[in-house]
């Protein structure tokens, strides 16, 4: 039977800061507009963390079943790959995490909407179900979208648009198209983390039949794509600041550009995909720092 440490390892805690970056950004904008609610914030964090852990469990399960996690895989060994957990244990871990996450999502929707808007309550309930399905279907099942090069699209949508804009809407209950710009920033950076992962695993994925976007476009174009993702992220958040600027505090996030630009330089110059593994953590933490600095600027 898998012990507690194995479950913690399978949850891949290093991925969690990236997953909550969108909640931080969306919530910070709500603070600036005096719409913040601590209960909504707590439940949004819990739901997002649950989705990320579920996704990590599902990736472990799906890649192991399909044979993608083999001796050629770069990076930390996963729970099933290392033999520390059985398929049955991981399967029930996924079921339990999905139930807990859905419960948080229902509570979040109830607190945010109550009896004020049945339409939006149902809409966000469907979004929650879609997010749970997307977390599982990335690698699990015959139609796993991660094996068809669609992972980047789903990451952009759920980490970026849903994470930032969705969390903002839960507070404000009104549309603000400008918030789509920081939402796109988080989406682009999150897709960049996935792209790095796929660049690192390019050769092994190709042999295993995992047709990620990197496998489809090739290593050279994947670097160009990575450049586009980060420059797109920078452009969107700068444009948001230009449209909503009130004080110099709004630009605190610019300090996060320096490590991100250094990261981009290392990726562009990389010759050995194995050496991209440390860059995964750097980009994820860089995104988290950008979110924190952006949030601090909005609060100040």
First to last CA, the chain: 49
* The pLDDT value given to residue 54: 95
Cα 118 from Cα 124, distance rounded (Å): 10
Give 85's DSSP letter.
Answer: S
The residues near 213 (Cβ < 8 Å, ≥ 6 apart) are 149, 151, 152, 195, 198, 222, 225
* The pLDDT value given to residue 259: 94
Cα 214 from Cα 140, distance rounded (Å): 19
The residues near 228 (Cβ < 8 Å, ≥ 6 apart) are none
Strands annotated E in the chain: none
* The pLDDT value given to residue 71: 58
Q: How many other CB atoms are found less than 10 A from the CB of residue 239?
A: 15
The residue behind tokens 């891949």 is 12
Cα 58 from Cα 186, distance rounded (Å): 23
* The pLDDT value given to residue 267: 92
* The pLDDT value given to residue 74: 58
* The pLDDT value given to residue 75: 58
Q: Which of 140, 134, 6, 9 is nearest to 65 (CA)?
A: 140
Ordered mean pLDDT values, 10 residues apiece, the chain (300 residues): 80 89 96 94 97 92 74 63 83 95 97 86 94 91 84 94 96 94 97 93 83 90 95 97 88 94 93 87 95 93
Task: Give me 261's structure tokens.
Answer: 């630009």
Q: What dihedral angle (degrees, nearest 10) is formed by the CA atoms of 53, 59, 61, 66?
A: 180
* The pLDDT value given to residue 294: 96
* The pLDDT value given to residue 63: 81
């Amino acid at each position: 039977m898998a012990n507690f440490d194995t479950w913690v390892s399978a949850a891949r805690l290093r991925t969690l800061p990236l997953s909550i970056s969108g909640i931080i950004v969306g919530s910070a904008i709500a603070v600036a507009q005096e719409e913040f609610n601590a209960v909504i914030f707590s439940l949004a964090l819990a739901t997002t963390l649950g989705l990320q852990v579920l996704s990590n469990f599902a990736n472990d399960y799906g890649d192991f079943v399909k044979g993608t996690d083999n001796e050629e895989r770069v990076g930390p060994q996963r729970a099933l790959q290392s033999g520390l957990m059985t398929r049955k244990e991981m399967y029930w871990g996924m079921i339990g995490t999905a139930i807990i996450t859905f419960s948080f999502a229902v509570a979040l929707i109830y607190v945010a909407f109550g009896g004020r808007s049945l339409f939006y309550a149902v809409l966000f309930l469907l979004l929650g179900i879609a997010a749970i399905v997307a977390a599982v279907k990335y690698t699990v099942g015959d139609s796993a979208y991660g094996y068809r090069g669609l992972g980047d699209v789903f990451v952009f949508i759920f980490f970026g648009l849903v994470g930032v804009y969705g969390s903002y809407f839960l507070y404000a209950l009104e549309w603000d198209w400008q918030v789509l710009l920081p939402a796109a920033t988080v989406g682009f950076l999150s897709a960049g983390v996935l792209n790095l992962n796929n660049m690192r695993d390019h050769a092994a994925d190709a042999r295993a039949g995992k047709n990620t976007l990197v496998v489809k476009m090739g290593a050279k174009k994947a670097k160009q794509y990575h450049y586009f993702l980060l420059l797109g992220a920078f452009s969107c958040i700068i444009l948001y600041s230009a449209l909503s600027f009130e004080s110099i505090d709004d630009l605190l996030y610019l300090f996060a550009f320096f490590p991100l630009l250094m990261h981009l330089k290392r990726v562009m110059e990389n010759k050995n995909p194995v050496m991209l593994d440390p860059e995964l953590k750097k980009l994820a933490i860089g995104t988290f720092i950008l979110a924190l600095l952006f949030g601090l600027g909005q609060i100040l």
